[in-house]
Structure 1
């Protein structure tokens, strides 16, 4: 932790500098052998919420949809199956390229630095992406510009506050250590999502709405398995930084595999808004 104003300023400047390799090649890299499995587990606990939100907001056949940071591709695949005209992007498309066989346009694209023409999409969706960017509101503004009038921007992002005060000591310690490492290694703002839907204001959007939920976790369920893989990817860096020990990780993993373990995971905030202008 920084101990002087100069050190604090340096940390802030570094965190605010966009370095795509932090996400593409560092934590959550597609080159990690367990990354595809980790993404599938995440999809298993989030996709039904995402699908319900699209349906509630009026997704129809023929809609042009941009899926930003497509990850393992489950959302893009489902959208295509619903008859949408889908574009899916990521910094690394290794897990997405196969979607081209389903009629999905797959692009290696950086939402923070590369554009689409205004009016390109009827829906734009990002999930667990925006918090990793150095200026999340800038990313929202850019995406809003790509919407056609009447188009909908949907963002789903997690906040970490429920795990910081877990009553389970090993789980609490490694989650706090993981959060601190994520903030320094990627530049993630782990509590930005708590501000939603306020960041949607001033982006040319109307009909702004939001909801929030707490993800629950039970030892051995998909959420617990996802956390174990997620934590393990950062374990070496966390231990090297002195934030937690290997013994702490093993104790946390024991909790996460125990069926008697029950706790909270992340809080997930969803916000949406409609592009202003004549449809």
Structure 2
């Protein structure tokens, strides 16, 4: 059996499943689809998407899948070595492990938005306090190499024009993680920070750049 670190039922302290949904907006559908198309069709492929699996018919037999695609799992749950080992164990010989995680370094706003930038830092702290790593993409290739794999890597950061709904992602995550944030900032402090960030993001000239989506994949040989 694979390691229990493969989180099919979220840990109680982990960022909620809604946080994963917020991160995994439709904006990332095209980069993911393009990569999957470039990997080429696999006849009768057995595919597992580990994005927000809360139970159900998931085969945990070692080597059960030709492609295991894990999105934002290390950022939510941490324990990268254990999780990658568990995910790798589900890949059949010759199959592919694909992992997608965020790298926060490009997550910026124009003009500069100090309150929103501060909120992003606090969100990263909330993920870290719960055992996750909102910046997991930065170390993803080295994590896969440490697991004995030879990853290939693509990165994507998307420019957001005025009015783009994904500009609001820090506010959406702050709503999802209001409890942990209030534990650190206090309810008044969190309310003030959210109001300030909202004011910044509603400015008519507001533009931004997403975090970088790091896609790392490797063929698994036994």
Given the two structures, how large is their TM-score scaled by the length of structure 2? Answer: 0.80
Question: How far apart in 1 are the matches of 2:156 and 2:185?
Answer: 32
Question: How far apart in 1 are the matches of 2:172 and 2:109?
Answer: 21
Question: How far apart in 1 are the matches of 2:23 and 2:133?
Answer: 23
Whether contact under 8 Å (2:49, 2:70) holds in the other structure is yes
Whether contact under 8 Å (1:219, 1:256) holds in the other structure is no
Query: Tell me, what secondary structure is at the counterpart of 2:60?
Result: coil
Question: How far apart in 2 are the matches of 1:154 and 1:261?
Answer: 34
Query: Tell me, what secondary structure is at the counterpart of 2:126?
Result: helix
Alignment partner for residue 221 of structure 1, among 164, 167, 183? Answer: 164
Whether contact under 8 Å (2:63, 2:91) holds in the other structure is yes
Distance 1:163 1:226, change over 3 A: closer
Distance 1:240 1:189, change over 3 A: closer
Question: How far apart in 2 are the matches of 1:57 and 1:223?
Answer: 28
Higher relative contact order (CA 8 A, sep 6+): 2
Distance 1:202 1:247, change over 3 A: closer
Q: Summarize deviations over 1:148-167 as a string: whole Å, max 9, x none.
A: 11100000000223348983
Question: How far apart in 1 are the matches of 2:43 and 2:198?
Answer: 44
Given the two structures, how large is their TM-score scaled by the length of structure 1? Answer: 0.65
Question: How far apart in 2 are the matches of 1:204 and 1:247?
Answer: 46
Query: Tell me, what secondary structure is at the counterpart of 2:214?
Result: strand
The answer to which of 246-255 and 48-57 deviates more is 246-255
Whether contact under 8 Å (1:235, 1:249) holds in the other structure is no
Partner of 1:152: 96
Cα distance, 1:202 vs structure 2: 5.0
Alignment partner for residue 53 of structure 1, among 27, 32, 35? Answer: 35
Partner of 2:114: 169
Question: How far apart in 1 are the matches of 2:182 and 2:61?
Answer: 45
Cα distance, 1:219 vs structure 2: 4.3
Partner of 1:3: none
Count of residues paired in the alignment: 211
Whether contact under 8 Å (2:49, 2:68) holds in the other structure is yes
Question: How far apart in 1 are the matches of 2:79 and 2:206?
Answer: 36
Bigger Cα Rg:
1
